[in-house]
Amino acid sequence: MAKTAEDFASAQKEIGVAEFFARNRHLLGFDNKLKALLTTVKEAVDNALDACEEAEILPEVAVEIIEMEPERFRVIIEDNGPGIVKKQIPRIFAKLLYGSKFHRLRMSRGQQGIGISAAVLYAQLTTGRPVKIMSKTGPTEKAHYFELHIDTKKNEPEIIKDELMDWPKDHGVRIELDIEAQYQKGPRSVDSFLKYTAITNPHATLIYTNPKAEQLIFARVSDVLPPLPQEIKPHPYGVELGNLLQMLKSADSLNISSFLQSEFSRVSPQVAKELCQVASILPTTKPDEISRDQADALIKAIKQTKIMGPPTDCISPIGEELLLKGLKKEINAEFYAAVSRVPDVYRGNPFVIEVALAYGGEQSSEEQVNLLRYANRVPLLFQQGADAATKAITSVDFKPYGLSQSRGAIPVGPCTIAVHIASVWVPFTSESKEAIAHYPEILKEMKLAFQEVGRKLASYVSKKQRVGHELKKRSYIEQFVPHVADTLIELLELPAAKKADIERNLITILEQERGEIKEIAQENTEFDENFAQIGDEEEKDEF
Amino acid sequence: MAKTAEDFASAQKEIGVAEFFARNRHLLGFDNKLKALLTTVKEAVDNALDACEEAEILPEVAVEIIEMEPERFRVIIEDNGPGIVKKQIPRIFAKLLYGSKFHRLRMSRGQQGIGISAAVLYAQLTTGRPVKIMSKTGPTEKAHYFELHIDTKKNEPEIIKDELMDWPKDHGVRIELDIEAQYQKGPRSVDSFLKYTAITNPHATLIYTNPKAEQLIFARVSDVLPPLPQEIKPHPYGVELGNLLQMLKSADSLNISSFLQSEFSRVSPQVAKELCQVASILPTTKPDEISRDQADALIKAIKQTKIMGPPTDCISPIGEELLLKGLKKEINAEFYAAVSRVPDVYRGNPFVIEVALAYGGEQSSEEQVNLLRYANRVPLLFQQGADAATKAITSVDFKPYGLSQSRGAIPVGPCTIAVHIASVWVPFTSESKEAIAHYPEILKEMKLAFQEVGRKLASYVSKKQRVGHELKKRSYIEQFVPHVADTLIELLELPAAKKADIERNLITILEQERGEIKEIAQENTEFDENFAQIGDEEEKDEF
C-alpha cells in the first residue's frame, strides 16, 4: 500500500492548459450559467471592437441570443472588422493563450489571449457543439467558414469543417456558439452590458436581439474613431529582477547603457549613465555579462533615480465631449458633466481616469447613485464592492455637491456616475476581469475626478435650488399684491379702476428689485469657485 | 496606420503558461509580499504532508525562514517523505501544470500541480535566484542536489546544477527558495498557519524557525497515520456533456453499457440498463458510435435517474477524537467538543464536514468567535467573508448555545470553532484556494455540524451557569445560618455552646436539600436533549 518515490514518479504527468481552465472555469468568468452568457458576449464584443479600431473601421457589431431549449442558448456575434486570415482562425478561437495583445504594452480591451477561446471551451463542455466561425478579409475574397473544437489534452484546435463560402459582406467575422446558460434582465444582464458599452463607445453601433426577440439598436453618435494608441516600451519603474535578467540574456544591444535606452521608455543617455553609476556597473559592460547581483543593483538604482513618467500616447481616453455624448444618448437626465484627468502612472504603467455624471430626470432620488465602472471602455458588472472605484467614491464627501450620503457609503440621489480607467495594463483583481485593484495612484486619481465632477454638480444643484427658492418667495409676495393695491387705493383715495394698473406697477417693481429668474439661471460659472462654501451652507440648511 | 487582417496575423503568437501566470500571479496567491511568504510555505508544507501520508511515513516537516536583507527572505522546507526520483525533480519544481494529483479523484491537499512551481516562479521573478532542491529516496542512495530555473517562454525546467551529495538522512526532500516578501505575526502569518496546521494534522510534527530565530515545535500527539484515501471514478451526477463526449471517444469498452459501468462509480448493470432505456440507446452500441445528441440524451437520463451516492473511502476525515486531540494541544480552553458528520455529495463529489470547538480559558469573551477554516486539513487564512463556512455560521442562531450574536453575524464569545471540509475536489472560489464556494449541500452540512457542536456547548455552558447560580444561592443562604442558629437557641432555650452544632446541622440539611455541587456538575448528558428549551430560558434571562 505505502508508495515509494518510484510509484509517485509513474503517476506524475503534464496537465493541459485547456484541462486546467476547463476545471477552473470560474477563473475566467464562467462560474455560473447567468455569468457564462454575459462573459461569452463580452469576450466576443471586446474582440470585435478592438479589431475594428485597430483597422480604423467604425464598428458595427450585431449580437443575437436565441433560446434553443431550456438553459441552452445560441449566441451569435457579427462584426464589420478586418476579418481574420484563414491560417489564424483555428488558433485564435480554439487554442487558449494565443493572441496578439499579451506581449505588447498598449491599451486594448483584451489583454490575455484567453477570453474567446475560453467561451469556445465552455460551449464544448456544456453542449458538446463546435464553435462556428465565418471570416472575410476583403470584398474580393471568399469567406472562410470553420467549425472548431478544442483538443483539451493538447490545447490545440481540432478542425471539424473548413469551407469557402459566399458572404454578402465586405469584411468581418461572425461567431456562433451554443452554450448552457441562463438569461435574465437587470443590472448584470447582457442587455445592461450592451447599453453601458454604448456609453463609452459612442463611435460604435451595436444591434442587439435578445432571447425574447426584442431588438435594441444602440446607434453611434460620433463618426470619429478613437485615436489609435501607440505601443510603448516598459517603463523602468515597473520592471522586476526576474524580467530584467531575462531581457539581459536575450538582448541585442552592445552594452548595458544602450540596452537600457533601447529596451525601456524614458531612459535617456544621461539617465542610463546615472543608473550605471549608482549601480557601480561600467556602461560598456555587455548585457549578457551582467551578473545577477549587478542586475539587482540596477533594480535598486532604478528605485532611487528620478525618471520621467512614461509617454501617454499608448492610451486613448474617451475625452469629456464624447463621454457626455455617450451618456446623453443612454441616460435621460437634466444635467450632465464629465471630467477627463491627465495621465498618471502606477508601477510604470500610464493610466487615465475619466468620470461622467448624469443627474436628475427619471432617476430615483431614494436610491444609491448608479455607479458604472469601466476598464478600457468595457463595462464591469461584477464585484463592485471589491473595485477601487467603490473605495474612491465612498471616500469622497458628496454632501457639499448636493447628494445625500451616509459616512463611508455610496452617495444617494437621482444620479448615474460612470468612472473609466484607460491603461496599457489594467490591474484587475482576478482573471475574470471584474474589479480594479486598489493601487494608491489609481484611488487618488479617481477621488480627484469624483471631486471635480462633484463640483460641477454642486453648481447645478445649487442653482436649481436657488431658482426654486426664488420662485417660491415670489409667488408668496404675489399673493399680497392685490391686498397692497387695495390698501393703497384706500389710503391715497384713488379710483378703484386704478387697481389693475397699481398691481402691474407693483409686480414691475418686484421684478426689478428681485431680478429676473432667467438671469439667475444664466448666472455664470464664476459661481463654481465658491462651491465649497455654498456646499457647506446647503449642508447646514439640511439639518 | 490602419491594420489589415494580414498585419494582425503576423502579431498573433502563443503565450507561455509560465508567462501568463507570472503576470497574473495574484491568481495563485502571490498578490503581495505578505501573502507571497505564506503561500510559499503553504505549498511546500502541503506537498510534504501529502507525500509522507501517501508513503505511510509519519511526517516531520521543518520550516525555516531567514531574513537575508530587507524584504528578502530565504525559505527552507525539509521533510522526511519518500523523496523524489531524480528524473522527476526538475519538472515537479520548475514546470507549471505538472503533477500527479490533477487527473485523479482522491482527497489530497494539492490538486492542480501548480503550487510549488508557482513559488519557484515567484522566487525567480523577484530575486532572480534558482530553487535549490535536495532529494533522497532511500538510506542506501545518494542525495540528488539540483538548482533550477523555469524557462518562462517554454514552461520547461532549466537545470543550473545537478550533483550527487551525501545527506545524513534516510529519505526526504529539502527545498530552498529566495523570495521578496514581508514577515509579520498575526492571524494571517506563517506562524498562525503552522499552528492551525498542527490542529488538523495531529499525526505530524512541525518544527518552525521564524525570521526572529524563535523556534516553535508542534509535536505530534498521534502515531496513527490517517487512513490512505482510495481513488474513485467520477460519479455520473458530476459529468458534463463535453467530458462525456471525450470519454466516449477514447473508450476501450465494447459497448455503452459496459462503458457506463467501468468508467463511472455506482453504475450497476441495472442502472446502466435504465440509463440506456431512458436515453433510447441500445445498450450494445459501441461507445465511439454514440452521437452528440445521444450523449446529450444520456446526460438528461442521468439527471432523471436515482443513482446511489459515490463511495466515500476516497476521503479520510480527521475524526472527532483526533480533532479534539489536535485542538487541545494548540488551544487552551475549558471545554472541547467535536463533530464529524457522515459523508454527503455535491455534483457527484463526496465530502465530509467536521467541526470542533474550544470554549473558555483565556479566550476573550468580548470578541467574535475565532473561526478556523480548513480544506483537506489545510488552514484557509484569507477571504473569510467569501467562505461557505461564514455563510453557514452566520445562519445558525448561537444564542441558545450560550454565545451572544447579532442577527446575521458571527457569534461573540470565548470560543474557537474549527470547520473542516474533506473532499476529493474542494470547490474553491479561486485558484489561490482561499474560500469554499457556496454549494447548498456544503452549506447544509456545515449548518448541521455547527448546530450539533452548539448543542454540546449549550449543555456545558448551561451546567456552568447552574453551578454558578447554585454557589451564589448557597453562599446567600449560608449568610443566614448563624442568625437562624441564634434564633433557634433563643426560641428553644438551648445552651449557647450548641450554636456550632446547630450551624453544622443546618448546613447538612441545606446540602441534602439542594444537592451536592459535584453531583450537579456530573449530571449526565441526557440533559442535552432539552437544550433548546433551556436555551430559550437563558435567552429570556438575558433580557
- List, for residues B195-217, the tens digit of each pLDDT value: 999 999 999 999 999 999 999 99
- List, for residues B145-158, the tens digit of each pLDDT value: 999 999 988 899 99
Residues of B (363-422) whose Cβ lies below 8 Å from A:
none
**Structure confidence at residue B526 (pLDDT):** 39
Average pLDDT in the A424-440 region? 85
Top-confidence residue, A301 or A521: A301
SS (H, E, C) A14-40: ECCHHHHHHHCHHHHCCCCHHHHHHHH
Q: Give the whole-angstrom CA distance, residue B402 versus residue B461.
A: 6
Look up residue B66 and give its three cell numbers.
531567514
Strands (E), A341-394: 344-346, 349-359, 370-375, 378-380
Closest CA to B63 of B73, B55, B75: B75
Is the Cβ pair B129, A84 closer than 8 Å?
no
Q: A102 in the Ramachandran plot: left (φ > 0), alpha (ψ -120 to 50) or beta?
A: alpha
Q: Which residues are B375's β-sheet partners? A: B378, B421
- Residue A510's identity, in one-letter code, is L
Closest CA to B63 of B84, B83, B85, B38: B38
Look up residue A291 and give its three cell numbers.
551578473
- Put simply, whether A83 touches B (Cβ < 8 Å) is yes
Is the Cβ pair A82, B4 closer than 8 Å?
yes
Angle at B288 between CA B287 and CA B289, to 5 degrees: 90
Residues of A (250-269) whose Cβ lies below 8 Å from B:
none
Is the Cβ pair A9, B88 closer than 8 Å?
yes
Is the Cβ pair B13, A295 closer than 8 Å?
no
Residues of A (111-140) whose Cβ lies below 8 Å from B:
112-114, 124-129, 135, 137-138
- A533, HSE (Cβ side, Cα atoms, 13 Å): 4
Closest CA to B24 of A433, A41, A376, A234: A433
Is the Cβ pair B51, A13 closer than 8 Å?
no
Q: Which residues are A232's β-sheet partners? A: A105
Residue written as grid cell 454557589: B471
Residues of B (137-196) whose Cβ lies below 8 Å from A:
137-138, 152, 171
ipTM score for this prediction: 0.75
Structure letter (DSSP) for residue B384: G
Residue written as grid cell 464624447: A322
- List, for residues B433-469, the tens digit of each pLDDT value: 888 988 889 999 999 999 999 999 999 988 888 888 8
Identity of the residue in A85, A292, A429 whose CB atom sits nearest the CB atom of B6: A85
Residue written as grid cell 452521437: B291
Partners of residue A4 in chain B, C-beta under 8 Å:
55, 82, 137
CA A181 → CA A69, A114, A118, B393, distances in Å?
A: 10, 20, 15, 31
- In this structure, the number of other CB atoms found within 10 A of the CB of residue B506 comes to 18
- List, for residues A466-513, the tens digit of each pLDDT value: 888 878 877 777 777 788 788 878 887 888 888 888 888 877 777 776
Identity of the residue in A84, A240, A243 whose CB atom sits nearest the CB atom of B5: A84
Taking the CA of residue A17 and the nearest CA in chain B, the distance in Å comes to: 7
Taking the CA of residue B330 and the nearest CA in chain A, the distance in Å comes to: 30
Q: Which residues are A144's β-sheet partners? A: A135, A164
Residue written as grid cell 438569461: A183
- Name the pLDDT band for A78 (thresholds 50, 70, 90): very high
Q: Which residues are B78's β-sheet partners? A: B62, B174
Q: Give the whole-angstrom CA distance, residue B419 versus residue B30.
A: 25
Taking the CA of residue A400 and the nearest CA in chain B, the distance in Å comes to: 34
Is the Cβ pair B12, A83 closer than 8 Å?
no
The residue of A116, A153, A246 whose CB has the most chain B CBs within 10 angstroms, and thus the best one to mutate to test that interface, is: A246
Low-confidence ranges of chain B (pLDDT < 70): 1, 513-543
- Put simply, whether A97 touches B (Cβ < 8 Å) is yes
Q: Give the whole-angstrom CA distance, residue B447 versus residue B449.
A: 5
- Put simply, whether A245 touches B (Cβ < 8 Å) is yes
Percent of chain B predicted with pLDDT > 70: 94
Is the Cβ pair A24, B241 closer than 8 Å?
no
- Put simply, whether A316 touches B (Cβ < 8 Å) is no
CA A324 → CA A354, B91, B166, B345, distances in Å?
A: 11, 55, 73, 53
Residue written as grid cell 489564424: A88
SS (H, E, C) B118-178: HHHHHHHHHHCCCEEEEEECCCCCCEEEEEEEEECCCCEEEEEEEEEECCCCCCEEEEEEE
Look up residue A287 and give its three cell numbers.
548585457
Q: Is the pLDDT of residue A196 over 70?
A: yes
- List, for residues A249-272, the tens digit of each pLDDT value: 889 999 999 999 999 999 999 999
CB pairs under 8 A between A and B: 191
The residue of B177, B246, B439 whose CB has the most chain A CBs within 10 angstroms, and thus the best one to mutate to test that interface, is: B246
Residue written as grid cell 389710503: A491
3-class DSSP state for residue A227?
coil
Partners of residue B243 in chain A, C-beta under 8 Å:
125
- Put simply, whether A100 touches B (Cβ < 8 Å) is yes
Q: Is the pLDDT of residue A456 over 90?
A: yes
CA A325 → CA A223, A357, B124, distances in Å?
A: 12, 11, 48
Percent of chain A predicted with pLDDT > 70: 94
**Structure confidence at residue B93 (pLDDT):** 93
**Structure confidence at residue A298 (pLDDT):** 95
pTM of the entire structure?
Answer: 0.80
Q: Give the whole-angstrom CA distance, residue A414 versus residue A410.
A: 13
Taking the CA of residue B126 and the nearest CA in chain A, the distance in Å comes to: 6
Identity of the residue in B3, B83, B135 whose CB atom sits nearest the CB atom of A82: B3
Taking the CA of residue A541 and the nearest CA in chain B, the distance in Å comes to: 36
Is the Cβ pair A127, B241 closer than 8 Å?
yes
Q: Which residues are A79's β-sheet partners? A: A173
